[in-house]
Structure formats: structure tokens, C-alpha cells
Amino acid sequence: MKFISWNIDSINAAVEHKSVRGEMTWSTLNEIATIRPDVFAIQETKLKSTGLTKKQATAIAELFPEYHLYVNSSTARSGYSGTMVLSKVEPTQVEYPTIGAPGSMDLEGRIITLEFPTFFLSTVYTPNSGSSLIRLPERGEWDDKYREYIKTLDATKPVIFSGDMNVAHQEIDLKNPKPNRHSAGFTDQEREKFSALLDAGFTDTFRSLNPDTPSVYTWWAQISKTSKINNSGWRIDYYLVSDRIAENVTESCVIDTGARQDHAPILLEINV
């Protein structure tokens, strides 16, 4: 099976594609549509609390005909965060879980989980620790709650889960590790929490297949005009799987988005 995951940074910007960046986002979305993944998971949809508008729903339906669509929008703050999943096959069950996260995190539409006969498929948009690490304590609580949630799924059947996890795990996972030791996404706490997630029985599929491959990133800061040109990026988007099905992974890679900065989609192929 083939899976794709992407932090799109606004469904509306893609559908409207009125700016240069919007055009690039729309182009990438069309490219993904031609790949026809079995499941396409999207983070940071930035939809209204009521979900897709008619125009947005029509555009998605035209690109992904006959897919089953599931949306989890933020009710804490409209137009913020949010996740969406498109699946060729209708799942046996869909969950929009709350995990006991602090503050408004459980109301921000951050997780969708689809259950299939032999596995769970879940996507997540992990909260950012924020400027000056103001949200780092709450982020740590989220990581603990999320890890426990994924473990409960894994206790029933294997899990394939993806998303913008807002952490570069190892120094190899970002261009400039030393000056970013105290930056959101590369603090000791966030990295340790990600290690704890892996130690709970899960495999980072890209790093498993490419243990020593440097300079492969999934996010380049928009604030820097040269971040993509210089490949000054971070690998903060992941496909993780239960350890017991990790040997079934045949591909885990990043989809090239050309000059577009911000997040790139990631692709997983696995026999399940």
C-alpha cells in the first residue's frame, strides 16, 4: 500500500492558489492526486470550525474522486491547526480522539485515526513549542499523552502513523544543529520525548531505511529566502510504524516540491 502525509499549511490557500506560493501548493496537491495513494493524510488544514466550504469540498472531490473524506477541524480557534484524511477504502471505524492534552490542544483538531481490518492508520499535527519555548511544558504533556494513546492502539493491532511532529530527532535531521539546541523543535526535552515514542515500540521508517543519509529534510523556513536554495532544512515530518511491521516497509521518502518552502509531503510504501 502507498501512503502520503503532508502539512499543507492551509487548504484554502491551495484551492484559491492566488499567490505564487499558493500556485506551488496547488501544483503539489495535483501531483499527489496523480500518485493516487491509498491514504492521504493532511495536517494544518486551517479550515473553519465548520469544516470545508462548498468550493473547497468540490475542489478536493474533483482531485480525489471516490475517496472517503474525514475532517477534524479546530473548534478552539477557527482557521487554526486541523487535520484531514482521504482514503480509497472505507475504514471500519474513524476516531477523532481526545487524549487528555493540556489547554485547548484537544480541541484543535490534531488527530484522526482510521481503523482497518489489519492495522490502524493515524495522522497527527503535534503542537509547536512556540517562540521563546513558551509552550514547551504543555508540549511535553502532549507528547506523553500522545505516546500513551498510540500505545493503546498498538496493543490491539499494528499502527501506521504520520504527521508534522515538530521535532528533529537527531543532529542529522537538521542543517544547523548547534545554533538550534534551544530552538523549538530541537530542545533536549522534545528529542527525548521522541526517543521515548520510538522506545515504546515504533520505528522511524525513513531513518530505519537510511540510517546515515544526511541532508534529507521535510521543512524549510519561509522567513529565509534562501533556506530551500541552500537546503537549510529540518526533518520534522515522519512516518512511524509498529516495530513488528517495520520489516514490511519498502519505501519511505520525501516528495520533491521544487522551490516551494515550508513542508514537503512524505511517502510510505508498506506491505500490510
Tell me if 263 is assigned to a ligand binding site.
yes
Q: Show Cβ contacts of residue 33 under 8 Å, excluding neighbours closer than 6 positions.
A: 63, 64
Catalytic residue status for 164: yes
How do strand 93-95 and strand 111-115 relate by DSSP bridges?
antiparallel
Query: Contact 82/71 with Cβ under 8 angstroms?
Result: yes
State the cell numbers at 193: 520525548
State the cell numbers at 196: 521515548
Tell me how far apart the alpha carbons of residues 48 and 55 are, in angstroms, rounded to a whole number.
13
How do strand 39-43 and strand 2-7 relate by DSSP bridges?
parallel
Catalytic residue among 164, 173, 204, 237: 164
Query: Contact 87/67 with Cβ under 8 angstroms?
Result: yes
Please report, for residues 1, 55, 245, 250, 267, the alpha-carbon distance to residue 271 in angstroms, rounded to integers and kept in the order given. 6, 36, 9, 8, 14
For residue 26, how many C-alpha atoms fall within 13 Å in the half-sphere facing its CB?
A: 14
Tell me if 7 is assigned to a ligand binding site.
yes
Question: Three-state DSSP class for 152?
Answer: helix
Which of 111, 93, 121, 119 minimizes the C-alpha distance to 37? 121
Tell me if 30 is assigned to a ligand binding site.
no
Tell me if 44 is assigned to a ligand binding site.
yes
Tell me if 212 is assigned to a ligand binding site.
no
State the cell numbers at 90: 472505507
Beta bridge partners of 83: 43, 72
Catalytic residue among 70, 125, 146, 239: 125
Catalytic residue among 106, 149, 217, 263: 263
Tell me if 188 is assigned to a ligand binding site.
no
Tell me how far apart the alpha carbons of residues 245 and 201 are, in angstroms, rounded to a whole number.
11
11 backbone φψ class: left, alpha, beta (φ>0; ψ -120 to 50): alpha
Annotated binding site: 7, 44, 164, 166, 262-263
The annotation places the binding site for Mg(2+) at: 7, 44, 164, 166, 262-263
* Residues annotated as catalytic (active site), given as ranges: 125, 164, 263
